[in-house]
Amino acid sequence: MRVDVANLKQAIVSLLGTVDLEPGEADAVSRIMAEADMKGISTHGIYFLPMLLKRIDAGLVKVPTQVTEVSESGALLHLDGGNGIGQVAAERAMGGAIEKARDFGIGMALVRNTNHIGLLAHYSLMAAKEGMIGICLSNSAPAMAPWGGAQALFGTNPFSIAAPGNGEFPIVLDMSTSIVARGKIRKADRLGERIPEGWALDGRGEPTTDPSEALKGSLLPIGGPKGYGMALFIDLIGGMISGSSYLNDVKTFHKPLGPTGVGMAAIAIDISRFMAPETYEPLIKEYIQQLKASPKAQGVERIFMPGEIELSREQEAASAGAEIDDDVVATINGLLSDKHIDVQLRGK
C-alpha cells in the first residue's frame, strides 16, 4: 500500500521511542529509512526496523549511540561508531568530511565499529547539497565469493557517489558491487519467488534461481572480476584500514551472532577549489542536456541520469505516499499494537 510519509516517520520514531535512543538518533533513522522507501529502495527502509529493534533489545546495538573521535589530522577524521546506530555514525562522518573539505578542499572520514548504515545515497547527497562531490562506501557481512571461489568472503559492499546537478536534481549513483543487493534475494525468499539466472551461486558454487539456496551460497559480482576487485578495495578501506572488521569477520545484521563490526568511509570534494560555481552550473546543465539529447537505442524513449528514477519516485511519494509491502505493514502494525502505541501505518 501507499503510506503517507509523515505517518511512516511517525511509526518509526514511535517504535524507536520504546528503546533508549536520544531524539536526534530516532530522527536520523526515520529520515533515512523513509527516504529509502520513498525512493523505492524498500530493502533499506522500514523493513529493517524490526531487526534493528531486536538487536537493540538483545544488546547487540549499543544505544544511545556514542560516536567518538579516534584521531583528527588535517583533512582526515577517524571515528569509532561505538557499535551504535549506523545512520548516526555515517551522518557524523559525512558531516565531518564536508567540514574538512571546506577547509582543505577535500575531506575524508573513516568509521570503525558501527552497524548497517542504510541508504548510502543519503550520505553522498549530503555533500552534493553543499556543492561538493560526495562519496560513501561501506563493507558488510559475507555474501559474495572472490572471483573463481565458492565461499562468500565479501559483503555486497556498496558505494555511492553524488554531484550537484543542474538545479533540478543531483546526479547520484548508489550501487552494490554484487549484481543485486542481498536484500533482494531475501525479499524473493520471503515472497516465495524465484530469482533470475546470473544473480547467485548455491553453496556448491553452481548457478541457482532458488533464493534460499542463494542465501546459502554467494552472490555474483557486477562485471565478474571487476566487481570482485571493487568489493575487495571497499572492504580494505572501509573495513581493514578503518580498524573495523573485514572479510568473514563482519557479522550479519539479520542474525544475533554478535556485533557486526561494519566499517565505512565518507569523502567530500569541494568543486569550487577547481571550478567556480558560476562556471560549473551551466556546464553541468549542458552536460546533462547532451546526454539526454543523444541518439537513443531502438525501443528506448528516454535516457536517465543516475539517480533520476529514484528521485522521481521520491517526489511522487511525497504527495502520493511511499509504497510499502503489505507484509511489512502488517509486521510494523503488529509491533505498534504489541507496544500499545496509538499509531498504525495506514493507506493514503
Burial label, 94 (beta-carbon count in 10 A; 0-12, 13-18, 19+): buried
| pTM for this prediction | 0.94
In 3-state terms, the chain is what percent helix, strand and coil (to 5)? 45, 20, 40
Q: Which amino acid is at 315?
A: Q
Cβ–Cβ contacts within 10 Å for residue 191, how many? 10
330: three-class secondary structure by DSSP: helix
Report yes or no: 269 and 105 within 8 Å, Cβ to Cβ: yes
Note the pLDDT tens digit of each residue in 173-219: 999 999 987 778 888 998 899 999 999 999 888 999 999 999 888 99
Report pLDDT for 161: 98
> How far apart are the C-alpha atoms of 301 and 163, rounded to whole Å?
25
Q: How far apart are CA 23 and CA 338, in angstroms?
A: 22
The pLDDT of residue 168: 74
pLDDT for the residue 169: 87
Helix (H, G, I), strand (E, B) or coil at 341: coil
pLDDT given at position 186: 84
pLDDT at 166: 78
Residues of the chain whose pLDDT is less than 70? none
Contact between 186 and 168 under an 8 Å Cβ cutoff? The reply is: no
